[in-house]
Structure formats: structure tokens, C-alpha cells
């Protein structure tokens, strides 16, 4: 592999090593601007994770650009053959590599290249949408340019198809090649045209021109040449000099024109209707002039309003789900309308929305004018059919939340969201329907918005159960764009949304295409190195931190583990705290789970709406930088029972323990933990002093963590988080004793500096010797010039017991002499605890 890397380097190509999953094993951003040295390549390919070789595209490799043809997404089976035929003799100038998946890479250089570009796509099939609702389109052909790389031979599965010779294409040749690739694009995104309001038309001039205007004549008149015609398309070549066989085509069924070339007035890949093409070619993009000219040419149909009876019938049939043919049949047989007139009426009523219009209003025509009334029950039906419904989190209560559910995803909704949804729907309606305009209907909605969208109205909406995706005792799920990662004690794997088959909170979907790789190299993961440093490079602490991260990310709440995680600091001097990286750890969790971050300095637990920003999809509440002497006991019920969410103008909602967020504190101080109740509810991790306000992670790594990561670094981070969850599911939370400094902070906080000083001096002198308790107490008072009223005997004895437990001592007690004097003895306990393993052991 190294020999090939050096060969590529000799041909002025930037090279990086990749792992089994085609991802760079090391940070490769630097190699986008410079070629690696021989020593750097030797180091990369000597790494045990190096399994493949990749060529970095862009200017660093002499203007290299690669076209990636992904044939596994070709449902026709003839894409590649047709593509090669269209390319013709230009194919001889391309260096071609067959990929592991059966696709092809076309290599060439050019003085003008771009970043990665999608050239041809198709709509996802029904089965693909079921597997992953996020994938609306599937890419067939794309480029890899600046910021991209491609896997190259001799990586397993990659084979040269001709002699290695990367030639330079002219700008025209590149444009010709990309135009041919774009001609295979099956996605046509219609360009929005400017609407000119014309009163008195039952069909506007531009609607009429879109239906019956001769677009082919317009194109040929302006220099576009017909080169081919099928039953579905007319293929054109652009005006002027070009070596391309074609430059665009007109889809007869969709009545849209699109181009493949960048050398025209049209944007490649966009779909232009008749009116848009006419306006751009004949009127230089001036839609107002184009509309006036079309009126002169006789386009548009004058008319009054559609019969109220017919409008009601059509809207009722559409709402009932009948298709276009059935509606036309009803109009012709039951209402004696000629078929052509029925078609025109249907088109006018449904307008640009086809047969999807759903009316929740009623228009009454009288001699004195017309009135528009919103029908609330139909508005409820409209919203429910659109995906809005009530969700009772606790079926035993009458407290609900309004949610929006679509395509297997759900999110909490608001009245503002409903208003915006209704507004957008109305504005998308035809320019004229039911003898009213969208603006007239919108005015009625806005005037009565308080009545139509108030809580009283929403309570009448239908409720619906949601089969939510939830973690269980042994499994955790993380939704990504390209699927859902399932993690258990044995590892992780990527499942399709169809395989999982549950509804997912939209806000929990991580905006990343994940590649599950549990064989990644931890030492190459930047966040892993950060975790090692904040753990003081102590393997026991690293294991403890990993298990705590896994606990927080696992969204299942075990009744036997009702505790909060506390991120503290090793420093004994609380005034010198801060800057150790606690905030970075919280931020890392936020990339994996929905976190509500709370300002601990100003947070008051008894304040109204304390948790008003907590949603049903919140999984962690992070209370950051809590104050000195925070009332930890006040959080007991939240940690062990659940959380009450009170929002303004809404009923409070109690989220029970099993579904409530986990609790995380960060602090520069010590959170009180005297007594068994507090200790059982805390798991404290102490950040080392590796970082501070004077030496930050940015100083160490040379950039802000997360901000400058490439896809490979993000992939390593996510896989590290999966490993943390698997580690926790396998072993639970590691039991690691708190550090000496934190123990001393606890004693100082609860029993005072004077007691800690006395303990330090007395134990060294009196260890292992029995002494009367009263004598010890008096010695403490005299040493610190205190009266009994200043420091009670009960507090002093509790301090001895607490300090002994914290510092691994034991307290013996006996009664001596005829007066049975109470004596105690403090001595060190032998520590027989097992030493932790020297490394993180993957549980699979």
C-alpha cells in the first residue's frame, strides 16, 4: 500500500490512508492544501488501522476532479451503458476505476473545478422511503472536487479499467462531460414564477399558456435545436458553439423544460414551465411584460365565479379522497357537465395543488355580496389529516400536548406553528377558488385567530397514540439521517428506519450520515484524547468517565440507579476553579442527546416555570455552574421520582421517573453529600487540572473542539459515544473513589476549615490510640479558640465520622474505667480494592 501511495505522490496526487470503512484514519484537512511527505505516508500506512488508500481531489492534486457513478442506485440497469454512449470519444481522455460496489470513478484534471456537486439523482422508491423517510432523493452521479476524496486502487475491490494516465480536460470538455451526466437527472424542481394578479379571469393568461402554449416553437425560435424526440421528451441542443450532443430537454408529461449545461440563461437541473421559458427568452425575465403580451395574444379565459353547488360537490369529493377521474365522472353523470367543462372546473378549483385541496371554509353568495365562514369541525379534520393531533403523555390524566406527526417523525407543536401551517396552506391555493382569493380567506383567519386557535378549540382536536422509539434496559437507539444505530452490550449496528418501525422524535435525529465502525482507532479520536487528559491520563478515571457518559446517553431510567452525575474539579482551592473542560463535555453530550442546559448561577428550584423549556423529548437536564452551597436535597424528588414541567398558559405536566430526563450538574465548588441519601444520589467525576483558563483545549489542540472537525473526525466521535454506551450496558457505572482534593473540599464545606486543619494535625499524632471523646472535643475548641455554642459536640462527632469515611479511616469506640468514659480511636483502613484494568476493554 505504501508503495502505491509513493507512486501516486510522484504523480502529484495528495494521498491519505483509510480504514475498513473508507474513512481517513487520521485528520486529513491539512492534506487538502499540501501533499504528505514520505515520512508522513510511512507513518500513516504503518498504522494497524490502515486498510485502504485515498486520493484527495482539488487543486492540491493538480486540479483533480472525479465523477462518481453509483450504479447500486441504478434501478434501470442500463445507466452506465447509456452514459458511455453519450460521452463518446471523450471517454478516451478519462482514467477509469471500477469501485467496490460496482460503480465507476472517472478521473481528469481541469483548470476550473468546483466542490462536490450532485449531477444526477432520482426519486426514492416506496421501499426506500419506508426504510429511511429522510431519503427523498437518491444520487446516481456526482463529482468529487475541492474538499473531497475517492478510494483508489490497490484498495480491496477497486480495479483500474485502463492505463493510469490522468489527462487535462479543457473547460469546454469538462462542461460537455458534466452536461451529459446532468442529462440523466430524473429530479425536476419546478422554478417558482411570479404571479401577476388579474381580476375577472376564471383562468389566468399564464395558466392558459402553461396548458396550451407552444413551448417547442419558443425554444427553436430562440436558437435551441431539436436533436431527438421520444414519446416522453424533446431533447434540445443550446445555441452557439458546443461539442455536447444535447443541452436540455422538455418533458411532455410534466410540461417542464430543464437544461444540463451551465452555458445558458437557465439554471441546470431546475424545471421551467411554459410561462417561465417564454418570459426568460422573449421578455428578458420580466414577468409583468410577459403577462401583458399573453393577454394581447388572447390567452386567459374570462368568466365569473364557479357555481357554488359545483364547488361544494368537488371539495366534498376531494376531502373524501376521491381521485380526479371519479370527480369528473360525478360531474358528467350527476350534474350534466360535458367532460371537457368538468375537467376545466376541476382544474380551476384544485389549481396548482392538483387533487389535494381540503376546504375548511364555506362561502355564501347573496345579492349584497359574499361571506366567508370558517367551519371549526372541518378545520379540526384538516389539521388532523395534516399530522396535528393531541398526545396524552399520561393516559390517566387529562393533560395533553399538541404534536405534529409525519413520515414516522413527531415533534411538539404550538399554536404559532399551526397558524403558520394554515397560512402557508392558504397562500399555496389557486389565485381564485370558490370565487374568493387566498388573501380574502387569510384575512378571515387572521381576524378570528384567537377563536380558531385558542386552547378551547385545540381541546376538540382528536388524540392519537404514538408508538415512540424508546431505550430499554439493555438497548439504546440513536437516530441519524441514514438510519438508526442500535447499541447494546455486544456492540452497535446501523438499522434502517423501516427495520426499527417506531415513531422518532424529529429533534432527536442527528444530522449526520453515520458509518458504524467499532474497530476505529481510539488514539486517532480527538475527543478520546480530550477525555484522557481531563481524566489525568489515569485509566481508572477514563473508565469511570466512559461509564458515566454511557449512563447519561442511555435514555432508560433504571429504578435501582436514581442518581445525578456531577462534574467537579480536582482543585482544592475553589477560587482557582473553572476552564477545565466541563462545558465541552456537556456540549459533546448535546450532539448525541437532547439536552436542556440551565444556568445554575441564577436557577431557583422553587421558581415558577423553572423547567418550562424541558420538552417531552428532553433526555438530559444539565444544570451548569451551580452556586456554592446549592440545596442538593431539593433535587431529590426530581432525581428519584420525575420532573414537573410548567409552561406559561398551559397545564403543568408531570413526567414520571421512567420517562424523565437524567440530571447532570457542573460546578467549581463542592455539592453537599453528607448522609447516605445524598451519597446514593450522586456520581461525581473530578476533572484534572490539565486545562484551565490559562491553558485551554484550544491551546492544546490548535482549534476549538467540534468546530473544525471533518466527517471522519465526527464519525470517530460518534463511534466513541456508542462505545461508551456499550461499555456502560456491559459493566454499569464503574466504582471509582473520589480524589483526595474533592474529599477535603467536602469536609471543608460541611464542617469548616478549622475542623479540617484539626483533623490533619490530630490524626498524625493520635492515630491508633484511644482517647476520651470529650477530651478530643475540648482540644478542638481550644485549638481554634471556639466556644461550645460556636461548634456543637454533635457536629464535631459527625465530622469525625464523615472524615473517617472519606479518608478511609475507621472509628473504634469503647467505655473505660469505673465511670465508663466514652473513648474513640481513629486508624487507617487497609485498602484491598481491586486495581482497575490498564485500558478500556471493548465488551465484544
Over residues 80-89, the pLDDT tens digits come to 999 999 999 9
| Predicted pLDDT of residue 833 | 46
Residue 471 resides in a domain: no
pLDDT at residue 666 tops 80: yes
Domain assignment of residue 444, yes or no: yes
Mean pLDDT of the 358-374 span: 84
Is the pLDDT assigned to residue 355 strictly greater than 50? no
In terms of domains, do 570 and 629 share one? Answer: yes
Q: What confidence category does residue 692 fall into, taking pLDDT thresholds of 50, 70 and 90?
A: confident
The answer to whether 535 and 632 are in contact (CB under 8 A) is no
CA 755 to chain centre: 51
Quick one: pLDDT at residue 336? 77
Structure confidence at residue 547 (pLDDT): 94
* Domain boundary residue, one of 302, 322, 349: 302
**Same structural domain, 684 and 576:** yes
pLDDT for residue 664 is more than 70:
yes
pLDDT tens, residue by residue, 170-217: 999 999 999 999 999 888 777 766 544 444 456 778 888 988 999 999
Residue 428 within a domain? yes
246 in the same domain as 120? no
Q: Are 653 and 644 in contact, with CB atoms under 8 Å apart? A: yes
Q: 145 pLDDT exceeds 60?
A: yes
For the chain, what is the mean pLDDT?
84
- Same domain as 612, residue 556: yes
Residue 142's pLDDT is what? 95
Judged by DSSP in three states, 670 sits in coil
Cell digits for 749? 464545606
Best mean pLDDT range from 386-395, 415-424, 431-440: 415-424
Lowest pLDDT segment from 142-146, 355-359, 602-606: 355-359
Residue 426 forms part of a structural domain: yes
Which segment, 7-11, 379-383, 535-539, 609-613, is predicted with the most confidence on average? 7-11
Are 198 and 291 in contact by the 8 Å Cβ rule? The answer is yes
Higher confidence at residue 316 or residue 557? 557
User: How confident is the model over 547-559, as pLDDT tens digits?
Assistant: 999 999 999 988 8
Instruction: Say whether pLDDT at 623 is over 70.
Output: yes
- Report pLDDT for 304: 45
Query: Is the pLDDT score of 576 beyond 60?
Result: no
Distance set, CA 529 to CA 23, 112, 687, 712, 735 (Å) = 19, 40, 14, 16, 22
- Contact, 321 vs 355, CB < 8 A? no
Of 302, 326, 355, the residue at which a domain comes to its end is 302
pTM for the predicted model, two decimal places: 0.71
> Of the candidates 105, 98, 210, which has an alpha carbon nearest to the alpha carbon of residue 157?
98
Helix (H, G, I), strand (E, B) or coil at 649: coil
Q: What is the pLDDT of residues 431-474, one digit of tens each?
A: 666 678 888 899 999 998 888 888 778 788 888 888 899 999 99
Question: Average of pLDDT values for 624-634?
Answer: 76
Whole-angstrom Cα distance, residue 769 to residue 763? 10
Q: Which residues contact 663 (CB under 8 A, 6 or more apart)?
A: 564, 565, 620, 621, 623, 635, 638, 639
pLDDT at 130: 83
Q: How many CB atoms lie within 10 A of CB 197?
A: 11
Q: Are 697 and 567 part of one and the same domain?
A: yes
Q: What percent of the chain has pLDDT over 70?
A: 87
Order of strands across the sheet that contains 149-152: 14-18, 52-56, 149-152
Please give the DSSP secondary-structure letter assigned to residue 354.
T
Half-sphere exposure (Cβ direction) of 320: Cα atoms closer than 13 Å: 10
Q: Are 164 and 222 members of one domain?
A: no
Instruction: Between 67 and 355, name the one with better pLDDT.
Output: 67
Lowest mean pLDDT, pick from 93-97, 399-403, 695-699: 399-403
In this structure, the answer to whether residues 98 and 77 fall within a common structural domain is: yes
Would you say 813 and 822 are in contact if contact means Cβ atoms under 8 Å apart?
Answer: yes
780-838 confidence digits (pLDDT tens): 898 888 888 889 988 888 888 888 887 888 888 888 766 667 878 888 876 554 444 44
Please state the rounded mean pLDDT for residues 749-774.
82
Q: Which residues constitute the domain of residue 439?
A: 370-466
Domain containing residue 227: CATH number: 3.90.580.10
Closest CA to 633 of 565, 598, 681, 587: 681
237 with 154, same domain: the answer is no
Kindly state the DSSP code that residue 510 receives in the 8-state scheme. B
The answer to whether position 445 is within a domain reads yes
Q: Are 193 and 178 in the same domain?
A: no
Question: Is residue 159 over pLDDT 50?
Answer: yes
722 and 676 in a common domain: yes
**Residue 443 backbone dihedrals phi, psi, to 5 degrees:** -60, -40
Flag whether pLDDT at 475 surpasses 80: yes
Provide the domain count of the chain: 5
Residue bearing the bigger pLDDT, 200 or 737: 737
State the pLDDT at residue 752. 83
Residue 727 covered by a domain: yes
> Which class for 242: exposed (0-12), middle (13-18), buried (19 or more C-beta within 10 A)?
middle
Give burial (CB, 10 Å; 0-12/13-18/19+) of 300.
buried
| The pLDDT value given to residue 187 | 83
| Domain boundary pick from 123, 151, 182 | 182
pLDDT of residue 430: 66
- Assign residue 647 the CATH number of its domain: 3.40.50.300
pLDDT of residue 197: 43
- For position 199, what pLDDT does the model report? 44
**What residues pair up with 146 in beta bridges, in sequence order?**
115
Q: Rounded mean pLDDT of 657-675?
A: 78
Residue 248 Cα to chain centre, angstroms: 36
Whether the predicted pLDDT of 42 surpasses 60: yes
Nine-digit cell at 839? 485500558
pLDDT higher than 50, residue 743? yes
Q: What is the mean pLDDT of residues 326-335?
A: 80
Which stretch of 249-253, 358-362, 545-549 has the lowest confidence by average pLDDT? 358-362
293 and 242 both lie in a single domain: yes
For helices 79-87 and 171-182, the axis angle rounded to 10 degrees is 150
Q: Which three cell numbers stand for residue 47?
A: 498504522
Region 30-44 average pLDDT: 94
pLDDT of residue 171: 92
For the segment 767-780, the average pLDDT, to the nearest whole number, is 86
Residue 412 lies in a domain: yes
Sign for the pseudo-dihedral over CA of 405, 406, 409, 411: negative
Same domain, 560 and 689: yes
Q: 178 with 119: CB under 8 angstroms?
A: yes
Mean pLDDT, residues 360-366 taken together: 85
Confidence of residue 534 (pLDDT cuts 50, 70, 90): very high
- In this predicted structure, what is the pLDDT of residue 501? 86
Lowest mean pLDDT of 60-69, 163-172, 204-213, 604-613, name the range.
Answer: 604-613
Q: Is 422 helix (H, G, I), strand (E, B) or coil?
A: helix
Q: What share of the chain has pLDDT > 90, as a percent?
A: 37
- Residue 592 in any domain: the answer is yes
Amino acid at each position: 500500500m505504501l508503495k502505491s501511495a509513493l507512486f501516486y505522490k510522484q504523480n502529484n496526487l495528495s494521498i491519505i490512508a483509510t480504514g475498513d470503512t473508507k474513512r481517513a484514519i487520521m485528520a486529513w484537512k491539512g492534506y487538502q492544501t499540501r501533499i504528505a511527505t514520505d515520512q508522513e505516508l510511512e507513518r500513516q500506512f504503518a498504522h494497524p488501522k490502515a486498510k485502504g488508500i485515498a486520493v484527495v481531489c482539488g487543486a492540491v492534486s493538480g486540479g483533480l476532479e472525479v465523477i462518481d457513478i453509483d450504479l447500486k442506485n441504478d434501478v434501470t440497469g442500463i445507466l452506465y451503458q447509456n452514459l458511455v454512449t453519450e460521452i463518446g470519444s471523450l471517454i478516451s481522455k478519462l482514467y477509469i476505476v471500477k469501485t467496490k460496489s460496482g460503480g465507476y470513478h472517472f478521473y481528469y484534471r481541469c483548470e476550473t473545478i468546483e466542490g462536490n456537486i450532485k449531477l444526477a439523482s432520482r426519486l426514492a422508491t416506496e421501499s426506500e422511503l419506508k426504510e429511511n423517510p429522510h431519503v427523498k432523493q437518491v444520487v446516481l452521479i456526482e463529482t468529487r472536487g475541492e474538499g473531497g476524496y475517492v478510494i483508489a486502487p490497490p484498495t480491496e475491490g477497486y480495479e483500474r479499467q485502463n492505463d493510469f494516465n490522468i489527462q487535462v480536460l479543457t473547460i469546454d470538455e469538462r462542461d460537455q462531460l458534466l452536461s451529459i451526466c446532468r442529462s440523466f437527472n430524473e429530479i425536476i424542481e419546478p422554478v417558482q414564477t411570479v404571479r401577476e394578479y388579474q381580476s375577472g379571469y376564471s383562468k389566468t393568461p399564464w395558466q392558459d399558456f402553461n396548458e396550451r402554449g407552444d413551448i417547442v416553437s419558443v425554444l427553436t425560435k430562440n436558437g435551441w435545436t431539436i436533436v431527438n424526440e421520444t414519446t416522453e421528451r424533446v431533447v434540445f441542443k443550446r445555441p452557439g458553439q458546443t461539442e455536447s450532443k444535447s443541452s436540455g430537454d422538455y418533458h411532455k408529461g410534466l410540461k417542464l423544460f430543464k437544461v444540463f449545461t451551465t452555458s445558458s440563461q437557465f439554471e441546470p437541473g431546475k424545471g421551467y414551465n411554459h410561462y417561465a421559458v417564454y418570459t426568460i427568452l422573449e421578455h428578458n425575465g420580466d414577468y409583468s411584460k410577459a403577462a401583458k403580451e399573453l393577454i394581447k395574444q388572447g390567452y386567459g379565459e374570462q368568466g365569473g365565479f364557479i357555481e357554488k353547488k359545483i364547488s361544494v360537490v368537488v371539495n366534498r369529493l376531494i376531502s373524501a379522497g376521491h381521485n380526479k377521474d371519479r370527480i369528473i365522472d360525478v360531474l358528467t353523470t350527476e350534474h350534466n357537465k360535458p367532460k371537457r367543462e368538468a375537467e376545466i372546473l376541476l382544474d380551476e378549483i384544485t389549481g396548482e395543488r392538483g387533487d389535494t385541496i381540503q376546504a375548511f371554509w364555506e362561502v355564501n353568495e347573496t345579492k349584497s355580496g359574499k361571506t366567508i365562514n370558517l367551519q371549526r369541525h372541518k378545520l379540526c379534520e384538516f389539521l388532523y389529516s395534516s399530522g396535528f393531533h393531541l398526545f396524552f403523555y399520561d393516559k390517566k390524566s387529562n393533560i395533553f400536548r399538541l404534536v405534529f406527526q409525519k413520515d414516522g417523525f413527531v415533534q411538539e407543536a404550538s399554536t404559532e406553528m399551526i397558524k403558520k401551517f394554515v397560512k402557508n396552506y392558504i397562500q399555496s391555493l389557486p389565485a381564485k377558488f370558490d370565487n374568493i382569493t387566498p388573501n380574502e380567506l387569510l384575512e378571515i383567519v387572521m381576524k378570528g385567530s384567537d377563536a380558531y386557535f385558542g386552547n378551547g378549540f385545540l381541546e376538540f382536536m382528536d388524540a392519537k397514540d404514538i408508538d415512540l422509539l424508546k431505550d430499554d434496559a439493555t438497548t439504546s437507539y440513536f437516530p441519524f439521517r441514514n438510519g438508526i444505530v442500535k447499541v447494546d452490550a455486544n456492540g452497535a449496528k446501523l438499522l434502517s428506519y423501516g427495520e426499527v418501525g417506531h415513531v422518532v422524535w424529529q429533534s432527536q435525529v442527528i444530522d449526520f450520515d453515520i458509518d458504524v465502525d467499532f474497530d476505529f482507532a481510539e488514539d486517532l479520536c480527538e475527543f478520546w484524547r480530550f477525555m484522557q487528559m481531563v481524566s489525568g491520563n489515569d485509566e481508572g478515571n477514563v473508565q469511570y468517565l466512559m461509564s458515566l457518559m454511557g449512563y447519561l446517553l442511555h435514555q432508560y431510567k433504571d429504578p435501582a440507579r436514581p442518581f445525578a452525575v456531577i462534574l467537579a474539579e480536582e482543585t482544592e482551592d475553589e477560587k482557582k476553579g473553572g476552564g477545565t473542560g466541563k462545558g465541552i463535555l456537556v456540549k459533546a453530550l448535546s450532539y448525541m442527546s437532547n439536552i436542556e442546559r440551565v444556568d445554575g448561577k441564577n436557577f431557583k428550584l422553587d421558581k415558577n416555570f423553572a423547567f418550562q423549556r424541558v420538552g417531552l423529548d428532553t433526555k438530559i437536564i444539565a444544570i451548569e455552574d451551580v452556586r456554592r452551597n446549592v440545596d442538593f436535597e431539593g433535587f431529590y424528588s426530581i432525581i428519584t421520582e420525575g420532573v414537573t414541567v410548567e409552561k406559561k398558559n398551559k397545564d403543568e405536566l408531570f413526567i414520571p421517573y421512567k420517562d424523565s430526563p437524567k440530571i447532570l450538574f457542573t460546578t467549581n465548588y463542592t455539592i453537599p453529600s453528607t448522609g447516605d441519601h445524598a451519597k446514593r444520589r450522586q456520581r461525581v467525576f473530578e476533572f484534572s487540572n490539565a486545562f484551565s483558563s490559562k491553558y485551554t483545549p484550544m491551546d492544546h489542540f490548535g482549534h476549538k473542539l467540534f468546530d473544525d472537525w471533518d466527517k471522519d473526525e465526527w464519525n470517530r466521535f460518534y463511534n466513541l459515544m456508542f462505545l461508551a454506551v456499550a461499555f456502560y450496558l456491559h459493566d454499569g457505572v464503574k466504582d471509582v473513589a473520589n480524589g483526595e482534593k474533592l474529599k477535603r473540599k467536602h469536609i471543608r464545606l460541611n464542617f469548616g476549615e478549622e475542623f479540617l486543619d484539626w483533623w490533619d494535625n490530630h490524626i498524625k499524632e493520635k492515630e491508633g490510640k484511644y482517647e476520651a471523646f470529650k477530651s478530643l472535643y475540648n482540644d478542638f475548641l481550644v485549638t481554634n479558640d471556639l466556644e461550645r455554642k460556636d461548634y456543637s459536640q454533635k457536629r464535631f462527632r459527625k465530622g469525625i465520622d464523615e472524615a473517617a469515611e472519606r479518608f478511609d479511616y475507621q472509628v473504634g469506640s469503647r467505655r473505660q474505667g469505673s465511670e465508663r468514659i466514652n473513648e474513640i480511636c481513629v486508624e487507617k483502613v487497609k485498602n484491598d480494592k481491586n486495581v482497575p484494568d490498564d485500558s478500556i476493554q471493548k465488551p465484544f
